[in-house]
Amino acid sequence: MQSSIESLGEPRFLSPLRHGHSERFKDDTHRILYDDTLAATQTAFRNGEMPLSFEVAGPREKIFFDPPKVTAAIVTCGGLCPGLNDIVRGIVNELYNHYGTTRIYGIRYGYEGLVPRLGHVPLTLRPESVSTIHTFGGTILGSSRGPHDVGEMVDHLEELGVDILFLIGGDGTLRGGAAINAELRRRGLPKSVIGIPKTIDNDIMFIDKSFGFETAFAEAVKAVSAVHVEARGAVNGIGLVKLMGRHSGFIACFATLAAQHVDFCLIPEVPFELEGSRGLLEALRHHIGQRKQAVIVVAEGAGQDLMQVSDEKDASGNPRFGDIGLFLKEKITDFFSGRRMEINLKYVDPSYIIRSVPASPQDNVYCTRLAQAAVHAGMSGRTNMLVGRWHGSFVHIPFDLVTHGRRRIDPNSDLWLSVLETTRQPARMREA
């Protein structure tokens, strides 16, 4: 079984990269297995099936668009994340310097910028205008959350003459990209929609690692180290850090492993209780009694079942979560106060600081390679897809494969076992 990538038609033009790049050209035979274990491959062949595989990203010898005549547009949507400017810079440089595409628009403030009545005029992007943007955080294009009328957005793409639209955003943005692509196909317009998945939580399906993730957890470690110092310097000191992770606890887990100071790591995938002999509060009391200090890292989506959470949604349609950090701070303080036990609790939420920093050098390289792969895909006439890295290789993945779920931590995985071994916290903090 092969994941099918939608194409605008037969490629008609020789790639301008053919001089010096001939050995790098990819074709439809270059593929990466979804499940590269021997057992999965043997099972598929035993059943007379081809294992699921993804098309390898990279330049094609023949392309769909005539590069000098192409108009491209870039849009960044959703929350900020380290590496957004790096992606924008990478796309502009690849288009301009290697394909000779000079008409490149930067759409302002997310999907809002594709609705003219909202008044956001696109930027004209050139290599010189993006040459240093990777040195600071955020996005020079601005961003916003929430959907807009697909018909209006496609109308504006037609007005601008855009041939390739590059979307940088999370699952909501990618769903929007799929809707734009469907409207383009309904109108019979040969325009490509290519996604670069953005999620600081590292929770996009079929992606090894999201861009900006390494920068994010490296910054998170600084906050964890700071509260560890505070906890160590006080009588019965407790450091509490809330990190990003609405549905997936990857940042919390990696920050825990990297910091080596964490005693309790709480993530959305592993439920816990506060009260009772096996609950978090008793485990914390026992730990303080022995060690005289403790550090707790909690992902923002953990423990939502313990709070009274409203049914409100944000502009992107996501549920508004309760603040688990402030909730735990109050509960821990009340618990020890009721037992006449002195504690010194310091609470830190570094989320917006982490989101706004520039990408690390390693993330910078990753962003550049993602951007280059996205441009190659768009020029080849592929559409309704994103680029990502799977098993160490850059691949093409259809939108519909990644928008129906989230990548989450398996409580039985080696990663969570490593966290338990590092923190030495109870494997279960709830009654059986």
Are 40 and 167 part of one and the same domain? Answer: yes
Task: Give residue 320's pLDDT band: very low, low, confident or very high (50, 70, 90).
Answer: confident
Are 38 and 179 part of one and the same domain? Answer: yes
Q: Is residue 403 part of a domain?
A: no
Q: Is residue 428 part of a domain?
A: no
Pick the closest to residue 324 from 276, 264, 282 (CA basis): 264
Are 167 and 133 part of one and the same domain? Answer: yes
Tokens linked to 302: 């953990």
Is pLDDT of 166 > 70? Answer: yes
Are 219 and 170 part of one and the same domain? Answer: no
Are 365 and 229 part of one and the same domain? Answer: no
Q: Is residue 332 part of a domain?
A: yes
Are 233 and 370 part of one and the same domain? Answer: no
Are 336 and 416 part of one and the same domain? Answer: yes
Q: Which of 10-24, 180-194, 305-319 has the lowest mean pLDDT?
A: 305-319
Q: Whole-model pTM?
A: 0.93
Q: Is residue 197 part of a domain?
A: yes
Task: Work out the mean pLDDT of the chain and round it to a whole number.
Answer: 93
Q: Is residue 396 part of a domain?
A: no
Tokens linked to 401: 């494969």
Are 204 and 296 part of one and the same domain? Answer: no
> Residue 64's domain is classified under what CATH number?
3.40.50.450
Task: Give residue 317's pLDDT band: very low, low, confident or very high (50, 70, 90).
Answer: low
Q: Which of 17-31, 185-199, 215-229, 346-360 has the lowest mean pLDDT?
A: 17-31
Count of the separate structural domains present in the chain: 2
Q: Which of 217-221, 258-262, 310-314, 331-335 has the lowest mean pLDDT?
A: 310-314
Alpha helices in 188-279 (DSSP H): 213-232, 250-259
Are 32 and 163 part of one and the same domain? Answer: yes
The pLDDT, as a whole number, for residue 365 is 97
Is pLDDT of 212 > 80? Answer: yes
Task: Give residue 106's pLDDT band: very low, low, confident or very high (50, 70, 90).
Answer: very high
**N residues, the chain:** 432
Which residues have a catalytic role annotated? 201
Read off the pLDDT of residues 29-73 as tens digits, 9 standing for 90 and up.
899 998 888 888 888 888 888 888 999 999 999 999 999 999 999
Question: Which residues form the domain of 224?
Answer: 214-356+411-423
Residue 92: what residue type? V
Spatial distance between the Cα atoms of 148 and 155, rounded to a whole number of angstroms: 12
Q: Is residue 307 part of a domain?
A: yes
Q: What percent of the chain has pLDDT over 90?
A: 85
Read off the pLDDT of residues 376-419 as tens digits, 9 standing for 90 and up.
999 999 999 999 999 999 999 999 998 888 999 999 999 999 99
Tokens linked to 357: 């920093």
The pLDDT, as a whole number, for residue 405 is 86
Are 69 and 97 part of one and the same domain? Answer: yes
Are 223 and 290 part of one and the same domain? Answer: yes
Q: Is residue 40 part of a domain?
A: yes
Q: Facing residues of 243 across strands?
A: 299
* SS3 (DSSP) at 319: strand
> Residue 290's domain is classified under what CATH number?
3.40.50.460
Q: Is residue 236 part of a domain?
A: yes
Are 312 and 179 part of one and the same domain? Answer: no
Main-chain phi, psi angles of 292, to 5 degrees: 70, 10
